[in-house]
Amino acid sequence: MTDTLQSRPRRERPRGRTRAVPIPLLVPALIGLAFLLLPLIALLVRAPWSSLPEQLTSAEVWEALRLSLVCATAATALSLVVGVPLAWLLARTRFPGRGFVRALVTLPLVLPPVVGGVALLLAFGRNGVIGQWLDAWFGITLPFTTTGVILAETFVAMPFLVISVEGTLRAADPRYEEAATTLGASRFTAFRRVTLPLIAPGVAAGAVLAWARALGEFGATITFAGNFPGRTQTMPLAVYLALQNDPAAAIALSLVLLAVSIAVLAALRDRWLTAS
C-alpha cells in the first residue's frame, strides 16, 4: 500500500518536467546525441552486408579476433591480480604522497597510448631499463610477442580497474573490516572474506571496463608489440591496416568490434543504464 503511494508521484513528476525542457538545453543535448550516434549509424549504413559473411569467415579476421579476446582477457586478469590490491592500498592505507601516487596511477588514462608504447619500449624493450636484464638473465624479450601485447594492454587498461575499485572501496563501510579484525581475523583474511565480497560488483564493473579498453587498445600495442598476424595483430591493428587498401574489410572488422562493445554495455546495463 505504502509502496504504490510512494511510487506514483515519482512516476508522474518527470512527465511534467519533460514538457518544460528549456530549448537552450534541449538543442545542444540533441546535437550531442546525434554526434555520438551518427558515426555508428554510418558504419551500419555503409557496411558491406552482401559480402559480410565472406569477410567475417576469413581466417585472418578470426585470428585477429581470437588474439584480441585472449590478450584482453589476459590483460584484465593481470590487472585484477595487481590492480585490486593497489586500489585497496590507495583507499585503505595512509602513507605520505598517496595523492601523488594516485595521480601517477591515473596517468595512463590521459597519456596518449603511443607515448605509453614508447615508454614501455624504453622500460621493457630488449635494450630497455629493465628489459636488458630480462634479456641477459632469462633470455626473455617482450617486444614483438603476444606477451608484449598483453603488457601494453594492461598498462593502458589497469587504471580503469583501479579507479573503479578504489571508488567502490571508499563507498564501502570500513567498519565491517574493522569488526572482522576485532573478532580475530587478520587484515588479509578480513580483506578476502569481508571486503572482497562487499566490493565484488565494483570489481566486476572495473574488470569489464578494463577489458573493453584492452580490447580496443591500438597505440601502445602497435608501438610496443609491433604488428604480425596471429602473434601481435589484434583487431584494432587489423582495422587500421585494412582501412588503407580494403575499406570493406575494415568496416566488417569494425562491426565485429562494435558488436563486442554493445555486448559489454549490455553486461554493464545494471550498473549504468538503470542504476541512475
Partner 1 sequence: MTRSAHWTRRMLQVAGVSTAALLTLSACSSSGPGSDQGSSSSPKLSGTVTVFAAASLEESFEALGKTFEKRHPGTRVTFNFGGSDTLAASITSGAPADVFAAASTRTMATVTDKGDAAGTPATFVRNRLEIATLPGNPDRITSLKDLAKPGLKVVLCDRTVPCGAAARQALDAGGVELTPVSYEQDVKSALTKVELQEADAAVVYRTDVRAAGDKVTGVDFPESAKAVNDYPITLLENAPNPETAKAFIALVRSAEGQKVLSGAGFLKP
Binding site for partner 1 (CB under 8 A): 99, 102-103, 106, 110, 121-122, 125-127, 143-144, 163, 166-167, 170-171, 222-223, 225-229, 232, 240-241, 243-245, 247
Q: Which is nearer to partner 1, 79 or 141 (CB)?
A: 141
> Least CB distance from residue 12 to partner 1, whole Å?
32
> Least CB distance from residue 97 to partner 1, whole Å?
15
Q: Which is nearer to partner 1, 237 or 256 (CB)?
A: 237
> Least CB distance from residue 125 to partner 1, whole Å?
5
Q: Which is nearer to partner 1, 190 or 225 (CB)?
A: 225
> Least CB distance from residue 18 to partner 1, whole Å?
28
> Least CB distance from residue 9 to partner 1, whole Å?
30
174: left (phi over 0), alpha (psi -120 to 50) or beta: alpha
Q: Which is nearer to partner 1, 143 or 216 (CB)?
A: 143
- Residues 6+ away with beta carbon under 8 Å from 268: 205, 208, 209
Rounded to the nearest 10 degrees, how much is the dihedral formed by the CA atoms of 123, 126, 130, 134? 150
Q: Which is nearer to partner 1, 159 or 260 (CB)?
A: 159
Q: Which is nearer to partner 1, 102 or 154 (CB)?
A: 102
Give residue 189's identity as a one-letter amino acid code.
Answer: T
Q: Which is nearer to partner 1, 69 or 243 (CB)?
A: 243
> Least CB distance from residue 121 to partner 1, whole Å?
6
C-alpha cell of 147? 606477451
> Least CB distance from residue 251 to partner 1, whole Å?
13
